[in-house]
Amino acid sequence: MKLDLKYGSNPSLTSGTAIIVDVESDRKMKWFLNIDLSDSKNPEVTVTCPPDAFIGRYKVALFIQSEVDGKTEVAIDEEPDIILLCNPWCPEDSVYLVSEQEREEYVLNDTGKIWRGTTQSSHPCSWNFGQFEDQILDATLSLLEKDIRVKAKNGVKKMRDPVWLGRILSAAANSQDENGILTGNWTGKSVFMEWLG
């Protein structure tokens, strides 16, 4: 059994964006495949990836070769995509957070407060971060895939750097000078209230 993973629009073995993972994978790549045959009818397959793998969507195909009645049978099965994210629970990941309390606060809380105002006068404002809402992950990945910096010659290589990714997503959101998708409203008036008339 092998997994064929393809990352990005032009995957290749030399760039590390085409990956073949099997039980005998090269340990230097840090991709591992483990098959637990305790239940022969439903084997459990575990894939381990390196903590600095490219962040984003991988196309997956499963390659299975077996002997049936003395004949070699081969099957290739397209599987659902997998999406790799930064992992604050993994000590080897650059975004690792030691404190479980911080992981609860900064990763798992989908609502909270942000501070608004000036340095002389600020106040809290309730906020829905919405990171678990339907389509948010797909929309975020789509922004990354379409960004010209990601499409640039060495852009894919940077897709394992969470700081760079944060900058790209921030720019992709800013319509002011980055042709992003959100427009700021600094008038002091609610756009929603203006829309209501």
User: Residue 163 belongs to what domain range?
Assistant: 100-196
- Mean pLDDT calculated for residue range 189-197: 48
Q: What is residue 178's three-state secondary structure?
A: helix
Cα–Cα distance measured from residue 80 to residue 7, given in angstroms and rounded to the nearest whole number: 13
Cα–Cα distance measured from residue 125 to residue 107, given in angstroms and rounded to the nearest whole number: 19
pTM (whole model) above 0.85: no
pLDDT at 25: 65
Q: Are residues 133 and 75 in the same domain?
A: no
Looking at residue 83, its amino acid is: I
Residue 95 lies in a domain: no
Using one digit for the tens of pLDDT, what is the confidence trace for 35-48?
888 988 888 888 88
Residue 164 or residue 64, greater confidence? 164
Chain centroid offset of residue 30 CA: 18
Residue 177 lies in a domain: yes
Give the number of domains in the chain: 2
Using one digit for the tens of pLDDT, what is the confidence trace for 115-144?
888 888 888 989 898 899 999 999 899 888
As a three-state string, the secondary structure of 89-149 is: CCCCCCCCCCCHHHHHHHHHCCEEEEEEECCCCEEEEEEECCCCCCCHHHHHHHHHHHCHH
